[in-house]
Chains A and B, each alone.
Chain A
Amino acid sequence: MPGIGAAGIAGLGIEQLTPPVQAALATATTGGTITAGTYRYVLTAINAVGETNASNEQTIVTTGSTSTVTVTWTAVTGATGYKLYKTAAGGASGTELLYRTVGLVTTDIDTTPGSPAGAFPQSNTAATPGVYAAPTKFFPFNSESLASTQETVFRRPIRQSADIIGAVPGFFHVEGDVEMEALEDVLVYFLYASRTLFVKTGTAPNFTYTITPTAAGIPNKTLSLTMVRNNIVFGFT
Chain B
Amino acid sequence: MMGRDEAVASLPVPTWPVSTPFGAGMYSVEIPTGTPVLDTDTFEFTVEDNAEAQFRLKSTGRGAQFFNYGERNSTMSLERDFDSRADFDAYKSITAQSVTLTATRTVNNVVSILSPVAIKDTYEIANSGQGDLVRASISYQNVIDGTGKSWQIVVKTQEEFFP
Contacts and interface: CB of A to CB of B under 8 A. Distances in A.
B163 A173 contact: no
Contact of A217 (B2, B5, B69, B156): B69
A73 interface: no
Given A213-B151, A226-B12, A235-B9, A173 B109 contact: no
Interface stretch (A21-29, A75-83, A91-99, A183-191): A183-191
Contacts of B150: 213
A194 B47 CA distance: 10
Contact of B152 (A138, A212, A228, A233): A212
Given A172-B63, A174-B6, A176-B1, A184 B149 contact: no
A174 B3 contact: yes
Nearest to A144: B1
Contacts of B8: 132, 235
Interface residues on B, range: 35 or more
Interface stretch (B14-22, B85-93, B131-139): B14-22
Contacts of A36: none
Contact of B156 (A169, A184, A236): A184
The dominant DSSP class at the A interface is mixed
A200 B154 CA distance: 10
Given A211-B152, A212-B152, A235-B7, A177 B14 contact: no
A123 to B, nearest CB: 5
Interface centre among B64, B105, B150 (most CB of A within 10 A): B64
Given A11-B14, A124-B163, A177-B1, A213 B47 contact: yes
A231 interface: yes
Interface residues on A, range: 35 or more
Contacts of B159: 137, 184-185, 188, 207
Contact of B155 (A124, A187, A205, A226): A187
A178 interface: yes
B62 A213 contact: no
B162 A124 contact: yes
Contacts of A217: 68-69
A30 B98 CA distance: 67
The dominant DSSP class at the B interface is loop
A130 B60 CA distance: 12
Nearest to B114: A212
A161 interface: no
Nearest to A18: B162
Nearest to B160: A207
Interface in B7-37: 7-12, 14-17, 19-22
B77 interface: no
Contacts of A212: 149, 151-152
6 contacts: A137-B17, A171-B55, A183-B19, A184-B155, A210-B152, A213-B74
Interface of A: 9, 11, 14, 16, 52-53, 122-124, 130, 132, 134-135, 137-140, 146, 148, 150, 169-178, 181-192, 194-195, 198, 200, 202, 204-213, 215, 217, 221, 224-226, 228, 231, 233-237
Q: Which 10 A-B pairs have the closest CB atoms?
A: A235-B9, A174-B3, A132-B7, A185-B159, A124-B162, A138-B14, A181-B21, A236-B3, A53-B162, A171-B55
Interface of B: 1-12, 14-17, 19-22, 47, 49, 53, 55, 62-64, 68-69, 72, 74, 103, 105, 108-111, 148-163
Given A124-B161, A177-B1, 20 more contacts: A9-B14, A52-B162, A53-B162, A150-B62, A172-B63, A174-B6, A183-B17, A184-B22, A189-B161, A198-B163, A202-B156, A205-B158, A207-B157, A209-B154, A213-B74, A217-B68, A231-B11, A234-B6, A237-B4, A237-B5
